[in-house]
Amino acid sequence: MNFTISRDALIKPLNLVAGVVERRQTLPILANVQLVLDGQQLSLTGTDLEVELIGRVLLEDKDAAKQSGEITVPAKKLVDICKSLPEGAMLDIQQDEQRLIIKSGRSRFVLSTLPANDFPSVEQGQGGQHFSLKQGDLKRLIDRTAFAMAQQDVRYYLNGMLFEVTNGRLRLVATDGHRLAMAAFDGDISVDEGAQVIVPRKGVIELGRLLMNEAEEVEVIVGSNHIRVITADFTFTSKLIDGKFPDYERVLPRNSTKVVLGDRAELKQAFTRTAILSNEKYRGIRLVLSDGSLQIVANNPEQEEAEETVAVDYEGESLEIGFNVSYLLDVLSAINGEKARFSLSDANSSALIEESEGGDCQYVVMPMRL
């Protein structure tokens, strides 16, 4: 293997691929990135056996690719070398038996390697459902729901996101048992049969990082045990979580008696200020709803207190209810639009939060006893 490439062309895909690589590995080769040069195309692959990412770079001219080949090198060291070189630098990369030599200007680096034959690849399952949509649409769905995924929950099926595909619709749902986020895309999606799969948390986060060209198409393949997403520059593959996702339809509050409309930015600022004096562990705040106003109260074990009053569109019975303020702030950060709609019933029932301008996202937050 011998080729020349600019630092700027290499660093973007290398950073993304190295993001998949785990620092602490049982297998030394999993700390490496695989380089494959085939003609003018350089492919970089990183994996942790759950998620695999292949980035592709086209070398600028035919003379840049002097000799094809494949090898694996330590991912972090290669990233650090590229970052340390100045912008616009050219790298001459050459394999010398069991070493990879990188030259740039007056700098020279020699990296240890491991054989490419030993590099594992994520198995491809049987076909499945294929569909395409714009990168921007898929990224929007992920950005609006990913915050509600659980982290290291014993209910392993919550440590990920539900991808539900049916004819004409892709819906993403995430929940940690205390709140639920749901977003849908309606468009030209044609599948033979509907599918529901759970993509693990790491896969969702890495996929969100890849979707940078909003207007470009992305191809999604949902198999029985893998999901694959293909763009012009990347091929992303993730194993699926084997489990049954909760029935999210049952969680959605149906018969709310109190509907509150408030200015989203104003509510967000008020929640942010009251959160300062909420209990650091439980983050609880109390909402006191009355005609035309919402009072937000927080206090903590040090007997400190914060209070805000926000004007809202509401007429009806007064209500006092507690929530985790972090959950409310996450929702108000995820949605767009000037107004936020809160649908409530009583102090023991979950709240449904939506964009008031007919958005396609819904959020459910369970109340807290304070």
What ranges do the domains of the chain cover? Answer: 2-118, 129-249, 252-365
Query: What is the average pLDDT across 15-32?
Result: 89
Long-range contacts of 105-108, Cβ-Cβ distance < 8 Å, separation of 24 or more: none
Q: In this structure, is the dihedral angle defined by the CA atoms of residues 249, 255, 258 and 263, taken in order, positive or negative?
A: positive
Give the strands of the sheet with 99-104, arranged side by side: 65-67, 2-6, 90-96, 99-104, 107-112
pLDDT over 90 (residue 123): no
358 pLDDT more than 80: no
DSSP 8-class letter at 86: P
* pLDDT bracket for residue 115 (50, 70, 90): very high
170 vs 173: CA distance, rounded Å: 10
Model confidence at 215: pLDDT above 70: yes
> What are the tokens at 127?
């076909």
How confident is the model at residue 128, as a pLDDT? Answer: 83
Radius of gyration of the chain from Cα atoms?
A: 25
Cα–Cα distance list, 146 to 153, 182, 252, 362, 368 (Å): 15, 9, 18, 13, 22
Rounded CA-CA distance 368/285 in Å is 9
Residue 62 pLDDT > 90, yes or no? no
Work out the pLDDT band at 86, boundaries 50, 70, 90: very high
What would the mean pLDDT of 117-126 be, rounded to a whole number? 81
Tally helices (H) and strands (E) across the chain. Answer: 7, 25
State the average pLDDT over residues 18-29: 86
**Rounded CA gap, 368 and 358, in Å?**
28
**Distance from the first to the final alpha carbon of the chain:** 65
For the chain, percent of residues with pLDDT exceeding 70: 99
> pLDDT tens digits for 263-319?
999 999 999 999 999 999 999 999 999 999 999 999 999 999 999 999 999 999 999
The CATH H-level (homologous superfamily) assignment of domain 129-249 is DNA Polymerase III, subunit A, domain 2 (3.10.150.10)
CATH superfamily membership of 252-365: DNA Polymerase III, subunit A, domain 2 (3.10.150.10)
Residues 6+ apart with CB under 8 A from 85: 7, 91, 104, 105, 107
**3-class SS letters over 89-117:** CEEEEEEECCEEEEEECCEEEEEECECHH
Mean pLDDT across the stretch 74-84?
A: 97
Q: Is 105 left (phi over 0), alpha (psi -120 to 50) or beta?
A: left
> What CATH code would you report for 2-118?
3.10.150.10
Give the pLDDT of residue 64: 84
User: Same topology for domains 129-249 and 252-365, yes or no?
Assistant: yes
Q: How many CB atoms lie within 10 A of CB 334?
A: 19
As a whole number, the mean pLDDT across the chain is 95
